[in-house]
A and B are shown apart, each in its own frame.
Chain A
Amino acid sequence: QSALTQPASVSGSPGQSITISCTGTYADVGANNYVSWYQQHPGKAPRLLIYDVSTRPSGVSSRFSGSRSGNTASLTISGLQADDEADYYCSPYTRSNTLLFGGGTKLTVL
């Protein structure tokens, strides 16, 4: 069981926006600016969406954005598309120099 809290599931209709939260502590999510988000489609490897809290790698759509307030990081997906249906994981680098992953959130596009 992950020490980070993500909602087990979220849903939205095409074109809408959703936000996935990732709540931790000052020792992980709130420790530094090293929070990443990954997308994983069933049977596939994870894909990096966001790093350093809010930076998008090249090739990632601007529909994906990241933010943080205190010990909670958030991933927002705007203009939902069918292909966004996947699992999403947050991943902070901790004060104890280890890496954590959240328990994952299943996004359903209605």
Chain B
Amino acid sequence: EVHLLESGGGLVQPGRSLRLSCAASGFTFNNYAMSWVRQAPGKGLEWVSGITGSGGSTSYGDSVKGRFTISRDNSKNTLYLQMTSLRAEDTAVYYCAKVLWSDDSLHLGPYDSWGQGTLVTVSS
């Protein structure tokens, strides 16, 4: 059974940094592209970033480009999101999500497995 567990969220001041992690189990991690998707309180879903199974290619949404960095450690079955220059509008639950397809393409969806999410609150 696929299991994704996010961690690293919390309260952070504007302008500071935070790193999220997503521990994966139940599948061959390096065979699948992964993404981060966020949801501001009471709002809809927003795609943040994606990475190929090998980690060789990445993509970012316009609202986080230049501030966030996605990466993965396939030896640890873990996905990361390094967030810098955080803003109030980055406040959201951050989900990691596994792509349906097994190859090394930069698939952005469809996502057949999701974690439970970790809340990031950016406030002074």
Contact = CB atoms under 8 A, between A and B. Distances in A.
Interface residues of A, number: 24
A103 to B, nearest CB: 5
Interface of A: 2, 34, 36, 38, 40, 45-48, 51-52, 57, 87, 89, 91, 93, 97-104
A57 B59 contact: no
Closest 3 CB pairs of A and B: A51-B110, A45-B114, A99-B47
A44 to B, nearest CB: 8
Interface of B: 35, 37, 44-47, 50, 59, 61-62, 95, 100, 106, 108-112, 114-117
B44 A91 contact: no
Contact of B50 (A38, A40, A99): A99
B95 A91 contact: no
B109 A91 contact: yes
Contacts of A36: 109-111
B25 to A, nearest CB: 16
B44 A103 contact: yes
A101 B109 CA distance: 11
Contact of A48 (B37, B46, B112): B112
B44 A93 contact: no
Contacts of B46: 101
